[in-house]
Amino acid sequence: MRRLGIPQKRIAKRLGLPQQTIFYHLPKMAELPFLVNTDLAKGFSVSRVAQKHDWPEPLVWSLALLEKDDLARFKELNWNLLP
């Protein structure tokens, strides 16, 4: 949920947990995308990776585009760059 831009307070409310618990566990979540990133590096499509790991497609896109510049993001999304 954090990768989707949902604030900790809202995550805590949705899960019925104290915000401090979310704050404590968020750093540990960095390990979860390892398998997804591995599949993306192997060249699998975002939709296929999302389906395989049962993740929402926008979440996989956020990982796929994480360290890319705007030009690379446009290319990945097959968007035309217009002046």
Q: What is the pTM of this model?
A: 0.60
Residue 63: what pLDDT?
Answer: 83
Q: For 14-52, how does the pLDDT look when each residue is reduced to its tens digit (9 = 90+)?
A: 888 888 887 877 776 666 677 888 898 899 999 999 899
Angle between helices 46-53 and 34-41 (to 10 degrees): 150
Residue 72: what pLDDT?
Answer: 87
Full DSSP string of 21-35: HHHHHGGGGGGTTHH
Q: What is the mean pLDDT of the chain?
A: 82
